[in-house]
Amino acid sequence: MTNYILRRLAQAIPQLFIISVILFALMQAFGDPIAMLGGRIPPRPEDKERLRRQMGLDQPIYMQYVTWLVGNDWQKIDMDGDGVPETYGKRAGILRGDWGNSLVTRQPVLKMIGERLPNTLLLMLTAEIIIIILSLALGLYSALRPYSLFDNIATGLSFIGYSMPVFWLALSLMYIFAVNFRRWGLPYLPTVGMYDPAVGKTSFELFKHMILPVTTLSIISIAGYSRFVRSSVLEVLGQDYIRTARAKGLRSMIVVRRHALPNAALPFITVIGLDIPFLLAGAVVTERIFAWPGMGRLFIDHTERADFPVLMGILMLIALAVVIFQIITDVVYSFVDPRIRLE
């Protein structure tokens, strides 16, 4: 097991290198970050040239990538714009643990991500736990009673839920549980932020503000995952070894728990293993609609400003999480199904 994990980690190094090269090349097509710095008042041409030199954007793309990757302690910077470099400036190198500074806010990228990541994990992990529990429960119950009234109703609702766009679902929930409930004099739910500034950041306030975004994230995923679990369990229940177990006189729940679920869970584990790393990225649409200060909103805000360091930091964090969670998924396989030997 240890050798397998070390071997996979060694394979991840060239993978991450290739991913970083591709992402860095794609970032060049996002726009000119210098043109975005002035807001409505664009910088003067001489100021733009000076900023390009200070930020290293006047260098060839491959030199910018090398600087981003390993850093540069010997770059002279023209601080006052007189054309004479006065000081030496240290530039970030991601291999040193320094992900650079935002071109817009001038704050360290790691600090900005660290401020938003807990908010995203709170929202996304809560939604993921609800998704996994309800998907397994609904999918398993439907598989054990195929084509029953419950199964037909669940199938119909799943098709409806899975076909709804995220933004439409979010706006519909806001209209029903915030606008209409308030109009009808019922207790209504808040729609923006993590808490009411007038009340303060209390646990109850946080819970109320999480209800609508978590519901939005959960409905569509539950609709899709429950159908996936149902089909996997139905396929396993039709296998010969399940019929053999029943022929031996084992109770139905023992057959399902010991024989059906471990085999049916493998595809579901794969889906969850692919889904969890993207929790770090947050839900771009949901966080934007509900003004949730998370990673998704951070990404979209700095995409509009072509803030390369922040975008590269978020994307590389996701890539690293994908590699790690794929290894974890493979290890979980060996525990769920003892027939799988990773060595």
- Within this chain, do residues 82 and 151 fall inside the same structural domain, yes or no? no
What integer pLDDT is reported at residue 44 of this predicted model? 73
Which whole number is the average pLDDT over 265-281?
80
- Within this chain, do residues 38 and 134 fall inside the same structural domain, yes or no? no
CB 23 within 8 A of CB 301: no
What would you measure as the largest C-alpha separation in the chain, in angstroms? Answer: 89
Q: Which of 27-31, 65-69, 151-155, 180-184 has the lowest mean pLDDT?
A: 27-31
Q: Which residues contact 42 (CB under 8 A, 6 or more apart)?
A: 35
Which whole number is the average pLDDT over 246-269?
82
What integer pLDDT is reported at residue 70 of this predicted model? 82
Distance CA(307)–CA(78), nearest Å, equals 22
- Within this chain, do residues 72 and 146 fall inside the same structural domain, yes or no? no
Nearest residue to 336 (alpha-carbon basis) of 280, 265, 242, 231: 265
Higher-pLDDT residue of 269, 341? 269
- Within this chain, do residues 64 and 130 fall inside the same structural domain, yes or no? no
Q: Which of 23-32, 146-155, 243-252 has the lowest mean pLDDT?
A: 23-32
pLDDT tens digits for range 68-122: 888 765 555 554 555 555 444 455 678 888 888 887 888 888 999 999 999 999 9
Tell me phi and psi for residue 67, to 5 degrees: -65, -45
CB 342 within 8 A of CB 331: yes
CB 161 within 8 A of CB 259: no
pLDDT tens digits for range 226-245: 998 999 889 888 888 888 88
Q: Which of 138-152, 167-181, 303-317 has the lowest mean pLDDT?
A: 303-317
CATH code of the domain in which 123 resides: 1.10.3720.10
pLDDT tens digits for range 30-74: 766 776 665 556 667 777 777 777 777 777 888 888 888 887 655
Full domain range(s) for residue 203: 109-336
Percent of residues in the chain assigned helix, strand, coil, to nearest 5: 70, 5, 25
- 103 domain-assigned: no
The pTM for the full model equals: 0.82
Which tokens go with 248? 């031996």
- Within this chain, do residues 240 and 303 fall inside the same structural domain, yes or no? yes
Number of domains in the chain: 2
